[in-house]
Each structure stands twice: as C-alpha cells, then as structure tokens.
Amino acid sequence: MGEDIAQNIELEPIIKGAVAGIILIIIGWFTSGYLGLFGVIIGSAISGFLTNNSTKYALIYGAIVGIICSFLMLTAFTIPIFIILGLFGAFIGKVVQSNIK
C-alpha cells in the first residue's frame, strides 16, 4: 500500500499550494499575523483542489504544504498547528472540487 501512495504523488499541487502559502505568509509578516494562518489554509486548499486523486491524497498534500509553510515560522509549536491547518484546508479544497464537478 505504501508503494501505491508513493507512486501516485503529484508534485504540481504541492508546489502550487506551497508557493501560494509561502507568499501569503510573507505578506502576513508585514500586515498582520492572521494572514499567515490563512495563508496555510489557502495554500493547502489550492493543493487539495488541484489534486486528481482521492481525498486521502489531498490530505497528504495539505499536510506537506503545512510542513513546508511551518519552516518560515521558527518555533516548535507551529509545526503541529500548520499541519492541522493544512489538513483542514486540503479537505475544504477537495470538497469545493467535488462540488464543482
């Protein structure tokens, strides 16, 4: 089963979601801290929306985007918070994608 997940990983949704999340976090540094939290949610929602696989893959992509975005905030507490926000955003993105199609 692990081989199936590793073989079906798409890089495009992860990269696009991470770039969008990082840009919003950087903008959040200069405006307010809340935009950084929404940046993670929006970035992972983009990755969840762009995925062609199941919801399980969308959640994996959201967690990866959350981990990538947590590297910008250098505290120990941001990693689990950003992973949870990434999972939430990816789920929302996948729900939006399924409602549009």
pLDDT (tens digit per residue) in 4-27: 767 777 888 889 999 999 898 888
pLDDT at 5: 67
**Residue 91 falls within a domain, yes or no?**
yes
**Residue 3 falls within a domain, yes or no?**
no
pLDDT at 47: 93
**Residue 58 falls within a domain, yes or no?**
yes
Taking a C-beta distance cutoff of 8 angstroms, is the pair 51, 95 a contact?
Answer: no
- Which pLDDT tens digit goes with each residue over 38-90? 888 999 999 999 988 888 888 999 999 988 888 887 777 888 888 999 999 99
Per the structure, the complete domain to which residue 41 belongs is given by 32-96
| Structural domains of the chain, count | 1
pLDDT at 1: 54
Is the pLDDT reported for residue 2 higher than 60?
no
**Residue 68 falls within a domain, yes or no?**
yes
Q: How far apart are CA 53 and CA 39, in angstroms?
A: 23
**Residue 15 falls within a domain, yes or no?**
no
Is the pLDDT reported for residue 95 higher than 80?
yes
Q: How many CB atoms lie within 10 A of CB 80?
A: 11
